[in-house]
Amino acid sequence: MKKILVLVVLLCITYGANAQLLWKVSGKDLAKPSYVFGTHHLAPLSITDSVPGFKQAMNETEQVYGEIVMEEMQSPINMQKMQQAIMLPGDTTLHTLFNSAQYDSVAVKIKQLMGVELQMFDKIKPAFLTAQISALIAMKTVEGFNPQQQLDGWIQSEAQKKGKAVAGLETMDFQMGVLFGTQTLQRQADQLLCTVMNLNKAEQQTRRMSAAYMKQDLKQLMEIVEEKQGNSCDALPEEEEALIYRRNANWAEVMPAIMKEKATFFAVGSGHLAGERGILNLLSKQGYTIEAVK
């Protein structure tokens, strides 16, 4: 019977994460509830007006935790670290990572998208260029998207205005390592080439992801993210492990102590919430009560 009850709880969290972005965490050793909110870097700030209980949760909690402290990204020392993290090492250049035909194909697309020659980025890691292309696609396809007003940063700044502490589940150094250091340079090059050669698909996926998020449909959002194209654009299992699942496990391990100390509003990427290995389920397995805020 106990196993059946656990299975029912897992199913409720895994499949109940539909049309829901804000979750209440209570029970066990918590004097006050905490909240987990799924963000999306392409969402306009207006989404917060349509999330039931969002303002109340922000008001009731004593501190905000994001994936990282967004404000720290603007410090001179971290800007320098970022520049170092995205640079290709030694004698490696984009010319050495692509053959002539591949380089020319990427160069044409970069010129179309950015209006500059690819040689300007010859010492830049391909993963960074792929990320920049994703941002450009978002600016083109998502109505209301403003890269200067991203949801995670706004939530943190609103908390600071109210005198609340803001902290990160990860350091910027760790996140830069995940984004630009877990893949081989050749794998980064393969993904960049695949991205520029499939821009229409990337635009369609971006639109669909944004629409699913604005409907607050985590289940559909996850389905879109997990779709496979059967080419180099698809994330490998070990990449998904590094980018999503291992981080989920790390966060779920430190969140209990954070919540016990103070009622906390966690704002992390929505792709980290749902599923058997999502943080909602991982917290539930530790004995916390997870409820959708209606």
At residue 43, the pLDDT reads 84
Q: How far apart, in whole angstroms, are the C-alpha atoms of residue 117 and residue 132? A: 15
Closest CA to 197 of 229, 227, 237, 228: 229
Q: What is the mean pLDDT of residues 183-201?
A: 94
Examine the pLDDT at 6 and tell me if it is beyond 60: no
Q: How far apart, in whole angstroms, are the C-alpha atoms of residue 61 and residue 265? A: 6
Mutual angle of helices 185-197 and 100-114, in 10-degree steps = 60
Q: Where residue 148 falls among pLDDT bands split at 50, 70, 90?
A: confident
E strand or H helix that includes residue 129: helix 126-141
At residue 230, the pLDDT reads 86
Q: Where residue 19 falls among pLDDT bands split at 50, 70, 90?
A: low
**DSSP reduced 3-state for 30:** coil
pLDDT digits (tens, 9 = 90+) for 168-185: 999 999 999 998 988 999
Higher pLDDT, 236 or 138: 236
CB 165 within 8 A of CB 263: no
Q: Is the pTM of this model over 0.95?
A: no
Structure tokens at 238: 């070990």
Examine the pLDDT at 18 and tell me if it is beyond 80: no
